[in-house]
Amino acid sequence: MAKPSRTRKRSTYQAPAAAARGRQRRREVKPVGQPKSQTGARRERRGGFRAFAGESYGELKKVEWPGRQQLISATIVVIIAVAVVGAYLYAADFVLSRFVRDVLLNF
């Protein structure tokens, strides 16, 4: 007596419904509309450079500009910070260059 084969018979394969819908969506041509922003809202066309310049001027009028005394004190703070960092870098360079020259290169 012959045993029945364990392999299935090949039948016509039908793609799942989700895959068929995906292929159908790819074939659809979407109409070209107005561009959207990242949030999905429609972008409004503004006035270009003239509007940009006007808005920039308006924002600059809102800025609280430093006074003479505040500007002088901030400049002094920057000069002192640059001097401190410069002195540190000079000392580190001096020490490390001597270390490399005397220890690492003279075995």
Is 99 part of a structural domain of the chain?
A: yes
Its domain, for residue 96, covers 67-107
Cross-strand partners of 36:
42
Q: How many Å apart are CA 88 and CA 95, to the nearest integer?
A: 11
Does any domain span residue 75?
Answer: yes
Q: What's the pTM? A: 0.44
Query: Residue 12's pLDDT band (boundaries 50, 70, 90)?
Result: low
Token reading at 4: 């029945």
| DSSP-derived secondary structure for 27-74 | HSPPPP---B-TTSPBPPP--THHHHHHHHHHHHHHS----HHHHHHH
| CA 12-14-18 angle, 5° bins | 170
Does residue 50 lie in a domain region? no
Tens of pLDDT, residue by residue over 21-79, are 666 666 666 666 666 666 766 666 667 899 999 999 999 999 999 999 999 999 999 99
Judge whether 85 lies within some domain.
yes
Higher per-residue confidence, 105 vs 46: 105
Distance CA 97, CA 107 (A): 16
Asked if the structure places residue 31 within a domain, the reply is no
Residue 60 resides in a domain: no
